[in-house]
């Protein structure tokens, strides 16, 4: 059987998963492709540590550039991560016309325009299926299976760390910091967790999904990002009482020729598909004009699920090489249009608001007058019987309102004497 040589950059957790996957299923993959992918070299700065997989020491090197330049390496798998040296490696491989498979969402979100342009110029492939959703082939679904659709919306739970923490905050009713520390002890959260918990990992993924759905590249700066660090378990409990779960959602929605891309904690109906996604799992709900809703669910991280998607990409690249059809499917569809991003201030959605109010006559009237002045209509209001000093929490659920009006109203409300502390505002989806 014809062989195609692979070079692996980065022998970390996912890299070891790729090696394990090739060792376990390489023959099966080869029989399905009619071409055998063979791992010819692995580069990492550390080639001594035990990764739990046995490889021929002769294929290990600390020289990534030598791996890329090696004629025996026909496909480069980049699992170094980050936006520094990984960028140089990817560009070096593409410049030689070598196809690249990567899981690096941060790199593509920040430098996608340059990288995709070089792949186009060299008519070679850059595949990045594992950069969103780990083992869920959502990128392939958007790029191929849903190609005939106008994508109306994508809503995704794209970060397992956050979903684990939120699930635990609700289950145990404990504060964010306790859940984060538990998640770190269990290996579900990084020692330096800010990329995950502050929403930027989800935003990188949202940028890629939006690019695939609408064509063209999207600047990270056009994404509204709010993480889960400041979420209180009090609100998660109140949301549950109202029939909602709190999830860190990426919301991508096209309406009237403009696309909104936002990442923030959202209330979703507890019984909805996204409301049923617990723990480290990821899910993406895509609404296409022909399909209606389709849901993609699975493990969004972890060595083996991520390796599954990396190897699925390798298989496509190998097929393309074997049939001289490189760049058969462009990395990002070229819509010919510039994506018009809707500013966050113009987004309309429903809101959950929690205010800490003096329990006195006329207070609710003062609040509802301000909300009314800003054309914010209430669908329910609930005073919680849990006073703190002379203040009580009051939860409001609004009908659809414009973000700018809600901002303005909350600013006025926060300045009232009858309001104890900064109002809490969460958005409601679905
Ligand atoms: N850190 C991510 C998560 C996985 O927690 O889901 C890699 O994208």
* Residue ranges in the chain whose pLDDT is less than 70: 335-337
Among the options 122, 205, 245, 247, which is catalytic? 205
At 195-233, the pLDDT tens digits run: 999 999 999 999 999 999 999 888 999 999 999 999 999
CA 248 to centroid of ligand 1, rounded, Å: 13
Q: Look up residue 62 and give its DSSP letter.
A: S
- Contact between 250 and 209 under an 8 Å Cβ cutoff? The reply is yes
Ligand 1 near 306 CB (within 6 A): no
Determine the Cα–Cα distance for residues 104 and 14; give it in Å rounded to an integer: 11
Nearest to residue 301, comparing CAs of 115, 162, 198? 162
CA 138 to centroid of ligand 1, rounded, Å: 15
Ligand 1 near 81 CB (within 6 A): no
What was the pLDDT predicted at 33? 96
CA 399 to centroid of ligand 1, rounded, Å: 33
> Is the CATH code 2.40.160.10 the one for domain 344-428?
no
Q: Which atom of ligand 1 is nearest to the CA of 103?
A: 8
Strand ranges (DSSP E) for 191-334? 224-225, 244-255, 258-269, 281-288, 292-299
Ligand 1 near 300 CB (within 6 A): yes
Helices (H) and strands (E) in the chain, counts: 13, 17
CA 356 to centroid of ligand 1, rounded, Å: 35
At 386-419, the pLDDT tens digits run: 777 789 999 999 999 999 999 999 999 999 999 9
Q: Which atom of ligand 1 is nearest to the CA of 188?
A: 5
Q: Which atom of ligand 1 is nearest to the CA of 160?
A: 6
CA 165 to centroid of ligand 1, rounded, Å: 13
> Is the CATH code 3.30.360.10 the one for domain 138-299?
yes
Helices (H), 98-248: 105-121, 138-140, 160-172, 176-185, 194-197, 200-214, 233-241
> What stretch(es) of the chain map to CATH 3.30.360.10?
138-299
Mean pLDDT, the chain, integer: 95
Ligand 1 near 202 CB (within 6 A): no
Which residue's CA is minimally distant from atom 2 of ligand 1? 159
Ligand 1 near 199 CB (within 6 A): no
- Contact between 129 and 312 under an 8 Å Cβ cutoff? The reply is yes
Q: Look up residue 232 and give its DSSP letter.
A: -
In 3-state terms, the chain is what percent helix, strand and coil (to 5)?
A: 40, 25, 35
3-134+303-322: which CATH number, 3.40.50.720, 3.40.50.1100, 2.40.110.10, 3.40.1210.10? 3.40.50.720
Q: Which atom of ligand 1 is nearest to the CA of 162?
A: 5
Residue 205 annotated to the active site? yes
CA 196 to centroid of ligand 1, rounded, Å: 7
Ligand 1 near 320 CB (within 6 A): no
What was the pLDDT predicted at 388? 76
Q: Which of 188, 201, 280, 298 for mutating ligand 1's site (highest number of atoms within 8 Å of CB)?
A: 201
Which residue's CA is minimally distant from atom 7 of ligand 1? 301
Q: Which of 196, 209, 305, 306 for mutating ligand 1's site (highest number of atoms within 8 Å of CB)?
A: 196
Ligand 1 near 301 CB (within 6 A): yes
> What stretch(es) of the chain map to CATH 3.40.50.720?
3-134+303-322
Q: Which atom of ligand 1 is nearest to the CA of 300?
A: 6
Q: Which atom of ligand 1 is nearest to the CA of 301?
A: 4
Determine the Cα–Cα distance for residues 50 and 254; give it in Å rounded to an integer: 47
What was the pLDDT predicted at 120? 94
What was the pLDDT predicted at 333? 86
> What stretch(es) of the chain map to CATH 3.30.70.260?
344-428
């Amino acid at each position: 059987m014809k062989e195609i040589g692979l070079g692996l950059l980065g022998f970390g957790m996912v890299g070891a998963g790729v090696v394990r996957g090739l060792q376990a299923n390489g023959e099966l993959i080869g029989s399905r492709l009619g071409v055998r992918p063979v791992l010819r070299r692995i580069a990492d700065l550390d080639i001594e540590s035990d990764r739990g997989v046995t490889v021929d020491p002769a294929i290990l090197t600390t020289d990534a550039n030598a791996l890329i330049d090696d004629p025996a390496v026909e496909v480069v798998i980049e699992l170094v991560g980050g936006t520094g040296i990984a960028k140089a490696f990817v560009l070096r491989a593409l410049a030689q016309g070598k196809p690249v498979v990567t899981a690096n969402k941060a790199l593509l979100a920040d430098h996608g325009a340059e990288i995709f342009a070089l792949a186009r110029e060299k008519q070679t492939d850059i595949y990045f299926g594992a950069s969103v959703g780990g083992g869920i082939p959502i990128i392939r679904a958007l790029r191929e299976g849903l190609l005939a659709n106008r994508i109306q919306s994508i809503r995704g739970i794209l970060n397992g760390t956050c979903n684990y923490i939120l699930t635990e905050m609700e289950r145990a009713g404990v504060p964010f910091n306790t859940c984060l520390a538990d998640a770190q002890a269990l290996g579900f959260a990084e020692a330096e967790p800010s990329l995950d918990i502050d929403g930027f990992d989800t935003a990188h993924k949202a940028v890629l999904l939006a690019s695939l759905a609408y064509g063209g590249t999207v600047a990270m700066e056009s994404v509204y990002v709010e993480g889960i660090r400041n979420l209180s378990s009090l609100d998660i409990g109140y949301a549950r009482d109202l029939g909602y779960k709190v999830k860190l959602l990426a919301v991508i929605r096209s309406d009237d020729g403009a696309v909104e891309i936002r990442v923030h904690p959202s209330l979703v109906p507890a019984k909805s598909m996204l409301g049923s996604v617990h723990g480290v799992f990821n899910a993406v709900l895509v609404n296409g004009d022909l399909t209606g809703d389709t849901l993609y669910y699975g493990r969004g991280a972890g060595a083996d699920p991520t390796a599954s998607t990396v190897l699925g990409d390798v298989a496509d690249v190998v097929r393309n090489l074997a049939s001289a059809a490189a760049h058969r499917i462009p990395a990002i569809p070229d819509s010919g249009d510039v994506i018009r991003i809707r500013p966050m201030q113009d987004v309309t959605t429903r809101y959950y608001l929690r205010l800490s109010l003096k329990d006195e006559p006329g207070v609710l009237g003062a609040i509802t007058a301000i909300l009314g002045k800003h054309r914010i209509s209430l669908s329910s209001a609930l005073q919680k019987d849990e006073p703190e000093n002379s203040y009580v929490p009051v939860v409001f659920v609004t009908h659809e309102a414009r973000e700018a009006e809600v901002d303005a109203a909350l600013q006025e409300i926060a300045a009232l004497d009858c309001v104890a502390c900064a109002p809490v505002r969460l958005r409601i989806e679905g």
